[in-house]
Amino acid sequence: MNSRRMLPARSIGRMGLALAGALVMTAALPLSAQAATGQLTLTRDDGSVSVISNPRDGRCYSLRGAGAARVANDTDSTAFVYMDSGCSGLVSRVDAGETWEKSGTQAADSIVLFQP
């Protein structure tokens, strides 16, 4: 006599669906966000200074209030400076270790970083 029990096809099908569902949910989990190491130092148009430490890669940082007249990129990523909030109207690329200063009257209103 065989002591092994056979599972009904319906039970096997349910286990397969449960496994497939678990795989789909795992695949839908967000990947961990990368952050640049270091800081961005923003000198505002009104003279105030803001610092963003270890900024998240790919995030658009909209600057409220006075825009940035100077951006010092002391991170390990490239920063992109934009004239409009929402990261549109590209003005300059600021590589790691470099500084951007405005020319004219328009200050930057947003910044985004990308890992090289």
Structurally, how many domains does the chain consist of? Answer: 1
Q: Quote the pLDDT of residue 114.
A: 78
Phi, psi angle pair for 6, to nearest 5°: -85, 135
pLDDT at 28 over 70: no
Q: Which residue has the higher pLDDT, 10 or 27?
A: 10
Return the sign of the alpha-carbon dihedral for residues 48, 62, 53, 42.
negative
pLDDT at 79 over 60: yes
CATH number, residue 85: 2.60.20.30
- Provide the mean pLDDT of the chain: 79
Largest CA distance in the chain: 91
Cβ atoms within 10 Å, residue 66 = 16
pLDDT at 24 over 70: no
Kindly state the average pLDDT of the residues 34-60. Answer: 93
In a domain, residue 26? The reply is: no
pLDDT at 49 over 70: yes
User: Do 107 and 115 contact (CB within 8 A), yes or no?
Assistant: no
Half-sphere exposure at residue 22, Cβ-oriented, CA atoms within 13 angstroms? 6
Its pTM stands at: 0.67
Partnered with residue 80 across adjacent β-strands are 93, 112
Q: Quote the pLDDT of residue 3.
A: 59
Return the sign of the alpha-carbon dihedral for residues 92, 105, 75, 54.
negative
Q: Quote the pLDDT of residue 17.
A: 53
In a domain, residue 16? The reply is: no
CB within 8 Å of 115: residues ≥ 6 apart: 34, 36, 57, 76, 77, 78
Kindly state the average pLDDT of the residues 50-79. Answer: 92
In a domain, residue 52? The reply is: yes
